Amino acid sequence: MELQQAESEGDAPVVKTPGPGALLLRRVAAPLLSVGMLCLALWALHLFTRDVNYHQIREYVQGLPRGRFVLAALLTALGYAVMTLYDHYALISIGRKLPWRRVGLISFISYAFSNAVGMALLVSGSIRYRFYIQNGLSTGEIARVVLYCTLSFWLGLLALTGVTLLLVPLPPDLPLATARLPLGIGLTLVPLGWLAAAAWVRQPLQLWRWRVRFPTLATGARQILVGALDWWLAAAVLYVLMPDSLDNGFGHFLAIFVVAQIAGLISHVPGGLGVFEAVMLAGFGATGHHALAAPVLGALAAFRVIYYLLPLCAAAVLVLQREARSLHRKSLWAPWFTALLPSFFAGLTLVSDQPADYDSEKARQITETVLQQHPDLCGIMGIWDNAEIGAGAAVQAAGKQNQVTIVTNGAGAATGCDSIKKGLLSVIYNFNAPTQAEIAAQQISEFLQNPQRPAGSEKTVFFGPITRVDKDNATGRNCWTLDQLK
């Protein structure tokens, strides 16, 4: 599936900017909902397990045969290997090819973090952007890869859940157990509809400002199969850790597992923590029965460690190793922590990457458009203060100077300091051109005073100081003028 922004006819559409109250609600509603769902899930989990103590759970885990842990670990490795197919086929669908090892690394890191942390679209999308942009993909191509992977993820889950509900009855203790068949039909129709659209819809559909182009039938089927296999393997990991006393067949277990996973994903709680466990306990009738609850909780705890925590630790080590290697290649003088905190940990999403060509007016026009499309924009990063003055003017005109932080570079000219004082810019990282000129002049003078040294006999590198300039220090030597330098 591809999304393309439709070309507008006539004047550009006017996007109404929401008020401060709407922006505040948009920012806090989702986190508050997640916190509320987490508290509700933990409360329900407490009610279900109030007669269970830690020692009972530990006793079950310690009693599991070692072979089951090995099998669970192998199934986890196989599951994450299957996840690399998301990115592999996504790159094929956009006509790009990267080495399988590199694609596998990017896919593993993105899914290890998003599976454990939650907020899959934001987390995995940010990680993919960081790595794929370094491999030559454009922002638009990365967006198409993320869209392909996200659709495959959900289409596979819905297909597996729908078919399982049609074939296997749900325990009566689960919500919507009586609506199993209608729910199964509804969920199955989604991937079937996707395949039908892939087979028969040839022209792109117009949805507001976007053109939606469906994939080929083979690509659509591949998305569903890879997604379903991914979820089947995840269920198999937990299945081998479950107590034998609750083994009513893999189909029965799978029906409960996929319903619990969907509940966890819909809740937006990181990793579905608490929600997934509560539904699993209810599905196996373990609520209020400590003899059943302790083994189920022990299996769930082992599953969390093997399927979520161990891959997360491995991915973190790979990221730190990669960033440390990159730091060593770039500069030994840079602060060590700047390369060990990848941008995706900040929880930010890049919404636009457009060159202003050092043109203040062009920067202003770009910023006006981006603010219309993304009224909750929080930051702008540029490379030259003179151009970003135009961006600051657009932000001020929209009344968002207290919302949008503008950070850029500069040589330390007074115009940059004046822009900070006027609120057009927030921070300038000043490399101080006068200081660089003094160092260069001093070295040239020394070379001229020693003519016996042949040209090219010495190679010199200078590291000039960089100063962070904001409203507190936008004065003095940080703000030079040409008249002062004469």
What CA–CA distances, in Å, run from 101 to 88, 137, 442?
10, 17, 50
Residue 30 has pLDDT above 60, yes or no: no
In angstroms, the CA 173 to CA 137 distance is 49
Contact 169, 180 (CB under 8 A): yes
CA dihedral 366, 370, 371, 375 (to 10 degrees): -170
What CA–CA distances, in Å, run from 405 to 377, 420, 422?
9, 11, 14
Shared domain for 100 and 249, answered yes or no, is yes
What are the start-end ranges of the H helices in 307-376? 310-330, 336-339, 360-373
Shared domain for 309 and 389, answered yes or no, is no
pLDDT tens digit sequence for 281-308? 777 776 655 566 778 888 888 898 899 8
**Does 14 map to a domain?**
no
Contact 162, 184 (CB under 8 A): yes
Q: What is the CA radius of gyration of the chain?
A: 28
* Token output for 34: 């997640």
**Does 153 map to a domain?**
yes
What are the start-end ranges of the H helices in 118-179? 120-133, 139-167
Shared domain for 321 and 370, answered yes or no, is no
What CA–CA distances, in Å, run from 308 to 31, 75, 85, 117?
22, 13, 19, 9
**Does 370 map to a domain?**
yes
Contact 63, 295 (CB under 8 A): no
In angstroms, the CA 411 to CA 432 distance is 5
The region of weakest confidence among 47-61, 117-131, 142-156, 263-277 is 47-61
Shared domain for 299 and 385, answered yes or no, is no
Chain position carrying tokens 């819809």:
201
**Does 344 map to a domain?**
no
CA dihedral 137, 331, 407, 5 (to 10 degrees): 0
Last residue of a domain, one of 325, 340, 374: 325
Contact 417, 469 (CB under 8 A): yes
Contact 478, 469 (CB under 8 A): yes
Exposed/middle/buried for residue 124 (C-beta within 10 Å: 0-12, 13-18, 19+): buried
Which residue type, as a one-letter code, is found at position 202?
A: R
CATH number at residue 433: 3.40.50.2300
Give the range with max mean pLDDT: 8-17, 195-204, 320-329: 195-204
CA 149 vs. chain centroid, Å, equals 12
**Does 345 map to a domain?**
no
Contact 398, 448 (CB under 8 A): no
| Residues composing the chain | 486
Residue 11 has pLDDT above 60, yes or no: no
Q: Give the number of C-alpha atoms closer than 13 A to the C-alpha of residue 290, restricted to the C-beta side.
A: 10
Shared domain for 35 and 169, answered yes or no, is yes
Shared domain for 296 and 379, answered yes or no, is no
Last residue of a domain, one of 310, 325, 340: 325
What's the domain count of the chain?
Answer: 2
Shared domain for 423 and 317, answered yes or no, is no
Give the range with max mean pLDDT: 61-75, 375-389, 428-442: 61-75
**Does 466 map to a domain?**
yes
Shared domain for 321 and 198, answered yes or no, is yes
Q: What pLDDT is stored for residue 9 in this prediction? A: 42
**Does 372 map to a domain?**
yes
Instruction: Dihedral sign for Cα 117, 118, 119, 120, please.
Output: positive
Q: What pLDDT is stored for residue 40 in this prediction? A: 53
Dihedrals phi, psi of 81, to nearest 5 degrees: -65, -40
**Does 4 map to a domain?**
no
Range of the domain at 446: 351-451+460-485
* Token output for 175: 């919500």
In angstroms, the CA 116 to CA 138 distance is 28
Helix (H, G, I), strand (E, B) or coil at 329: helix
Shared domain for 267 and 308, answered yes or no, is yes
Average of pLDDT values for 171-182? Answer: 76
Higher pLDDT, 430 or 119: 430
Last residue of a domain, one of 291, 325, 359: 325
SS3 content of the chain, % helix, strand, coil (to 5): 65, 5, 30
Query: By C-alpha distance, which of 259, 243, 73, 255 is closest to 169?
Result: 255
pLDDT tens digit sequence for 219-233? 899 999 999 999 999
Query: By C-alpha distance, which of 410, 417, 358 is closest to 385?
Result: 410
Q: What pLDDT is stored for residue 185 in this prediction? A: 93
* Token output for 44: 């329900």
Contact 390, 413 (CB under 8 A): no
Confidence of residue 159 (pLDDT cuts 50, 70, 90): very high
Exposed/middle/buried for residue 401 (C-beta within 10 Å: 0-12, 13-18, 19+): middle
Shared domain for 140 and 230, answered yes or no, is yes
Helix (H, G, I), strand (E, B) or coil at 107: helix
Shared domain for 316 and 359, answered yes or no, is no
In angstroms, the CA 319 to CA 248 distance is 41
Shared domain for 357 and 299, answered yes or no, is no
Residue 3 has pLDDT above 90, yes or no: no
